[in-house]
Amino acid sequence: MRTTTVNISFQESLLRDIDQVARMESRSRSEFLREAARAYIQRKQRWANVFALGQLVADSKGLTPEDVTKEIKAYRKSKASPQ
């Protein structure tokens, strides 16, 4: 796999935190940042999939954003009420 070197600016305190965690995990700074980028991208993709599924379900049931908001409020109210 081909790699490319990039320059990134960090605040000194963040860079210290990055280096500290990388050392604790016996990784290089580059390994740590590659893994962090991968994890971020995967998390964004998973959330995009969750929202796409929610939209698919809402569309198939003919739900509007207002319907969803009403259901959330009703659920929260039922959980807050003493049983």
- Residue 75 DSSP code: H
Residue 4 lies in a domain: no
Residues near 63 by beta carbon (within 8 Å), at least 6 away in sequence: 57
Residue 3 lies in a domain: no
Tally the domains of the chain.
Answer: 1
**DSSP per residue over 16-64, as a string?**
HHHHHHHHHTT--HHHHHHHHHHHHHHHHHHHHHHHHHHHHHHHHHT--
Q: Which two tokens stand for residue 62?
A: 């003919």
Tens-of-pLDDT digits for all 83 residues of the chain?
899 999 999 999 999 999 999 999 999 999 999 999 999 999 999 999 999 999 999 999 999 999 989 999 999 999 987 75
Residue 2 lies in a domain: no
pLDDT of residue 83: 58
- Rounded CA-CA distance 44/66 in Å is 25
Range of the domain at 44: 12-80
